[in-house]
Structure 1
Amino acid sequence: MPEAALCWWRWLWLSAAVVALDQLTKVIVLATFTRGEMLPLLPVFSLVLTFNPGAAFSFLAQETGWQRWFFLGLALGAAVLLSFMLRRGGSAWSNVGLALIIGGAIGNAIDRAWLGEVVDFLLVHYGGWYFPAFNVADSAITLGAGALIVDSILQHRAAAAESAAAQRK
């Protein structure tokens, strides 16, 4: 099996773990909470059951329902595209980032397919300020994007160091 294909399979466990953890936490929250019910865990962190028919920060949440299929298709398309990128292989940072984003996209796509909206339940707040509720899949997507940014910085630094070394010769 070619090295790139091995890389593909080696990182799929992370995507699968994200999907499993995301769906498990959502099942627990759906079985435990009613819509809007809040459980403060820390002065700045609570659990609260909310549903988001839109995208991040409830973008397009007030639309008539077409956004369900649009965001479902977008998430699945992104997961397929990122899977092809993962299959090509890359650095560990890149592979972790892609795998996390794939898992997060699939986790939220499952919600859209079955419920028509995404289950959110993690709430960060301070005083009267509230960050929009989010979930494990959203966290994985954010961490994955962060890993891709780190990879980009490291690649840029390596290229700059290589260029500087070549100029000294």
Structure 2
Amino acid sequence: MKLRLLGAAIALVALAIDQGSKLWLLNDYGLAARQPVAVTSFFDLVLAWNRGISYSLFTTDSARGPWILLAVTLAATLLLIVWLWRVDQAVTAVALGLLIGGALGNAYDRFAYGAVVDFVHLHAGGFSWYIFNGADVAICIGVAVLLLGSWVAQPGPAGASKMPEKNA
């Protein structure tokens, strides 16, 4: 029960940070009228409306497109919630909370705006990373934590660790 609450709390925090930053940039700061805003030599604030998924894959301009992506996101989120309900490790609960919070943040954007609000643009020299948001960060960290947690923290049969042993 405590792990479920931990995951839910992490999801709410990730969702609040994501939506709070987007609402502030859109409504209070007025990013659309000010963009691009150079924060550092490698970080700009740029408003981008992502009508697809990660890296703008499956971009759609049809009327049904955002609703289909929203339905897929909500279905995936439901599966993550079921997984969180059954979790037995804190690291997994934290990772799932980040995934759920990030997914709900982007799902809310699709529902409210018909597209996901992206605004972080990282670049250096001739390299330019895609434009992303706080929900995307939460999702990426959640995936990384799941991967690292499954590789490092899981005991194998008879309590053996999955970490490779060093040769003596």
Shorter-chain TM-score range: 0.7 to 0.9
Q: Does 1:18 align with 2:24?
A: no
Q: Does 1:159 align with 2:156?
A: yes
Q: Please identify, of 104-113 and 75-84, the stretch whose mean Cα deviation from structure 2 is larger.
A: 75-84
1:125–1:160 distance in 2 versus 1, CA, 3 Å: farther
Q: Does 1:144 align with 2:162?
A: no
Higher helix share: 1
1:6 matched residue in structure 2? 2
2:166 matched residue in structure 1? none
TM-score (norm 2): 0.86
* % identical aligned pairs: 32
Cα displacement (A) at 1:129? 2.1
CA distance in 2, matches of 1:63, 1:128: 30
Aligned length: 159
Cα displacement (A) at 1:66? 3.0
Deviation per CA, 1:61-107: give whole Å up to 9, x if none: 24424331121011111111111111112212211110000000000
1:59–1:110 distance in 2 versus 1, CA, 3 Å: same
Unpaired runs of at least 5, structure 2? 162-168
2:53 matched residue in structure 1? 55
2:81 matched residue in structure 1? 83
CA root-mean-square deviation: 1.9
Unpaired runs of at least 5, structure 1? 165-169
1:161–1:40 distance in 2 versus 1, CA, 3 Å: farther
